[in-house]
Amino acid sequence: DAKTTQPPSMDCAEGRAANLPCNHSTISGNEYVYWYRQIHSQGPQYIIHGLKNNETNEMASLIITEDRKSSTLILPHATLRDTAVYYCIVKRAAGNKLTFGGGTRVLVKP
């Protein structure tokens, strides 16, 4: 599975949009981009995934560049409860083993 690169940390103001970048320049054609998050002392939580089209659900939006070498997770209106470590993962759909790297530690401030 392709490796991903994320900034180690970022702050966001409550109520504002949080834009979390992820680089995956070695992504293969059959690999998907997944995002999970982990709130302190809890298990990881699935957020969203996509292949090449932009995706949106009740939690977030995922924007994937046309060359698929990078993506951005958007939390449209960050709340204090969104404070967590966010993990960007690239993997094939046929196979469900997850491997997390360092992720981005997001701190939502009042």
Which residues in this chain contact another protein in the complex, by CB under 8 A?
A: 32, 34, 41-46, 49, 87, 93-103
The minimum distance between CB 12 and another protein, in angstroms, equals: 21
The minimum distance between CB 46 and another protein, in angstroms, equals: 4
Amino acid of residue 25: S
Nearer to another protein, 78 or 88 (CB): 88
Nearer to another protein, 80 or 93 (CB): 93
The minimum distance between CB 21 and another protein, in angstroms, equals: 18
41: left (phi over 0), alpha (psi -120 to 50) or beta: left
Nearer to another protein, 49 or 63 (CB): 49
Contact between residue 69 and residue 23 where contact means Cβ atoms under 8 Å apart: yes
The minimum distance between CB 79 and another protein, in angstroms, equals: 21
Contact between residue 23 and residue 83 where contact means Cβ atoms under 8 Å apart: no
What's the rounded Cα separation, in Å, for the pair 110 and 103? 22
Nearer to another protein, 13 or 93 (CB): 93
Contact between residue 38 and residue 106 where contact means Cβ atoms under 8 Å apart: no
